[in-house]
Amino acid sequence: MPKNEENRAILTDTRGREVALKGVIVRARLHGLMAEVEVEQSYCNPRDTNIEAVYSFPLPLGAVLLGLEVEIAGRKLRGAVVEKKQAERDYEDAITDGNSAVMLEEAGPGLYTASLGNLMAGESAVIRYRYGLLLSWQGPRLRFLLPTTIAPRYGDAGAAGLRPHQVPVASLEVDYPLDLSVTVEGELAAATIASPSHGITVARSEKGMTVCLSGKPMLDRDFVLTLESETIQSSCVLTQDHEGHVALASLRIPPLAADERKPLALKVVIDCSGSMGGTSIVQARKAALEILNLLRPEDAFGVTLFGTTYQHLFPTLVPATARYITEAWNRLDKLDAAMGGTEMEKALDAVFALGGSDAQQTVLLITDGEIHEHERLVQRAAKSGHRVFTVGVGTSVAETFLKSLSRATQGACELVAPQEGMAERVLVQFHRMRQPKLGELHIEWPQDPEWQTALPKTVFAGDTVHVFAGFAKPVEGSVTLKVAGGADVAAAMALASEAELPRLAAARRMDSATDAESLRLALDYQLLSRWTNFLVIAERADKAEDLPELHQVPQMLAAGWGGTAMLDVCYSSSGPHLPGYSRTRPVQYLGLPANRHRENCIGIVESSLDFDLATARISRCRTAMRGTPEFRKSPTRIALGKLPPTGRRRDPATAGHSLGLHHGHGAGYVRENTDVAAHDFGAGTLGPRFLSSRPAAPTGERGSRRTRGGGGLHSCPHGIGDRRLVGSRLQAGDSEGVEGCGARPAA
């Protein structure tokens, strides 16, 4: 039985029926500069009819899916890579014929969708996939990122190329347990290992070091593992590939001193949309103030805040004198997330047009990146003539978008988890901005390769450059990277047994190949891609008599998203116990009957400090009350903000986000004489935030999944006024500087 079997999370749809994603198990291996990751998703169907479960999930940018294995109907089956259109036809045919099938497809950059068709009543299934990922040193630091959930995104998912069944939907009502361990081998095992996202234990093993999560972690935040070492050097490995050989050169650009005399023309752009509420806006505020500390009088700067609209603090770039720094500081010290939606494209267009300096202008963007239509924005930014440096904040940052944006504009990206040092990461970005620009790269092999992957157009001192090359015969000697404006980097070629390396090389070759050549590589090397899907068909003796009902498995809402939080709280009939903490200030418990407190108690606090204190003290309260008759394992929701008058409807243009639907849609209101389940983050706080008052979409009718679109599950199935519990999980440790807090999963 899988470890998460007893901890399965049950989701109830609009008709009160259950479907379950039990949880996720992850096993990762880091060796050299390669990560191999195996992810196991466990499902069950406790219903009395067959279903089709559809789940979209994130993978790191650059991840290459290498294999698919499915356990269903008492059988273990391996997936095959099939051309996309053929895979979709075969999948639909299998479902229509009453068999079970699993299809894994790329929905977009960094986004994948698993479809599990004809999961029979009472049946369990396991989907297990593997992927490989190249790791990169940035100076003495290496960062391994494992995305776990997709935060609600602003904009039109259809315009971004997603089909209805692929669109991630976040829910406040699900908890998915995560079981994760990472084995660190070879030279990496000697590095200093830490995690700013989770509590971890580190133990020595036969092959190196083993990292495990402590506590009871959930799929509500990305897992981040950092390794630091001053001794890791460049390398080049050679391994067999069919009849030939493939080499991977991983070359580290030497450190380079910044040009302290170089003035900056810096445009600081800060996302103040509603999704930034909570931990993200706290991070953004810290970053903004640190930027002001690092500016020099000879620099010019401007600050733009954006949400649904944008606001320039100054009409043009201004000198970084004491007057303007003080003026900006006074505004940014009160930064909040009260500007509605995430209209990033309009804001950046206005920033690109902002004048005031003849120097090359640089943009430093601070955001969680949660927008759908980002590919067009990246293209526009690449034509602007600006370098865009990005700082991604939050527990589930949109890595693919922010890294793509920085690479397309010859900038760089830093992702910062809530517990990471913001000042250090901003300083790294400033060091890059002031570095002398490195020129063209050229690589020399001991002999001419048959093919070679493209070199990056822009690198910074301390970066790692990965280059693949193919050879007909084994090659000996050294590979040298020549850097115009910098020192050469060399590494000796060494034979290695890396079975998956040729497949990673094929995936990298697809980046610059034609569609026809990419399809050939994907099929030859069995790689999931834009042109191919993984497919498993399980012939059943007990055929399904009807077509399955579609059920989209929702995302667990990212911790701290939009300032929301869910904590385990102890209750009695008179309401929650908060030792040493006033029930009336700053936590206001709404006017619910006393006998309802056990099921639904929603707290409102009106400042971030009170929010931090409340989360920390409630967490300690739960621990103190464990084992007593008063203790209940019922969660509650605590949020920053104020309530609107009952019955008052909010303007959809300013409502910002709807947690019950998709990021950026709908408005909410509070009904009279009901248990309130909506919060207005209005003026002066964190922007509007509501559960949707719109009815959930009906469960999809039986028929072709490709034609009936979305439906089935809804993240707020009962609407406002329902007495069901709502909330999302946030550790007390998500707010820095609170007594008793730390980077530990919630108990």
Instruction: Give the pLDDT band (50/70/90) at residue 563.
Output: low
CA distance 347 to 306: 6
Q: Greater confidence, 419 or 327?
A: 327
Helix (H, G, I), strand (E, B) or coil at 332: helix
Q: What gap in Å lies between CA 178 and CA 739, rounded to an integer? A: 26
pLDDT at 321: 95
> How many angstroms separate the CA atoms of 345 and 555, rounded?
26
Length of the chain: 747
Among 365, 489, 382, 387, smallest CA distance to 437 is for: 387
Q: Where are the beta strands (DSSP E) in 253-346?
A: 265-271, 300-306, 310-312, 318-319
**What are the distances in angstroms from CA 471 to CA 88, 196, 241, 243, 480?**
36, 41, 9, 10, 16
Nearest in space to 415 (alpha carbons), one of 223, 702, 175:
223
Integer Cα distance of 625 and 577 in angstroms:
9
Neighbours of 540 (CB within 10 A): 18
Angle in degrees, 0-180, between the axes of helices 279-294 and 322-332, rounded to the nearest 10 = 170
| pLDDT reading at 351 higher than 50 | yes
Measured at the CA of 424, the angle between CA 423 and CA 429, to 5 degrees, comes to 95
**Average pLDDT in the chain:** 77
335: Cβ–Cβ under 8 A, 6 or more apart, which residues?
270, 272, 281, 284, 285, 288, 305
Mean pLDDT to the nearest integer, 80-92: 97
In a 13 Å sphere around the CA of 586, the CA atoms on its Cβ side amount to 18
Decide if 246 contacts 505 (C-beta within 8 A): yes
E strands of 260-327, at which residues?
265-271, 300-306, 310-312, 318-319
- Give Cα separations from 555 to 23, 268, 401 (angstroms): 12, 32, 19
Sign of the dihedral through C-alpha 375, 379, 385, 387: positive
Q: How far is CA 96 from the centre of its chain?
A: 35
Q: Any bridge partners for residue 538, and if so which?
A: 100
- Burial of 420: CB neighbours in 10 Å, binned 0-12, 13-18, 19+: buried
510 pLDDT higher than 80: yes
What's the one-letter identity of residue 656?
G
Asked if residues 81 and 47 have their Cβ atoms less than 8 Å apart, the reply is: no
Cα–Cα distance measured from residue 601 to residue 670, given in angstroms and rounded to the nearest whole number:
16
Q: Which tens digit of pLDDT belongs to each residue from 584-630?
A: 332 222 222 222 222 233 333 333 444 444 444 444 443 444 444 43
Residue 209's pLDDT band, with cuts at 50, 70 and 90, is very high
Rounded to 5 degrees, φ, ψ at 285 are -65, -45
Kindly report the pTM of this predicted structure.
0.77
What does the pLDDT read at residue 564?
59
Q: Of 687 and 47, which is predicted with more confidence? A: 47
Q: Provide, for the chain, the percentages of residues in helix, strand and coil under a 3-state DSSP scheme, each rounded to the nearest 5.
A: 20, 35, 45
Q: How far is CA 614 from CA 576, 642, 675, in A?
A: 12, 16, 21
Query: Is 198 in contact with 742 (CB distance < 8 Å)?
Result: no
Q: How far is CA 48 from CA 51, 77, 125, in A?
A: 9, 25, 16
What is the distance between the alpha carbons of residues 144 and 129, in angstroms, rounded to a whole number?
18
| Model confidence pLDDT, tens digit, residues 712-743 | 322 222 222 222 222 222 233 333 322 222 22
Q: pLDDT tens digit string along 184-196?
A: 999 999 999 999 9
Among 249-258, 475-484, 509-518, the minimum mean pLDDT is found in 249-258
State how far the Cα of 276 lies from the Cα of 336, in Å rounded to an integer.
Answer: 8
Q: Would you call 179 helix, strand, or coil by DSSP? A: strand
pLDDT attached to residue 260: 66
CA separation (Å) from 266 to 361, 493, 528? 6, 42, 40
CA distance to 605, 615, 658, 665, 682, per residue, from 652 (Å): 24, 30, 10, 8, 13
| 575 vs 670, higher pLDDT | 575
**Two structure tokens written together for 653:** 């243009």
Please tell me the predicted confidence (pLDDT) of residue 60.
Answer: 96
The letter for the amino acid at 569 is V
Question: Around Cβ 172, how many Cβ atoms within 10 Å?
Answer: 22
* CB atoms near residue 12 (< 10 Å): 15
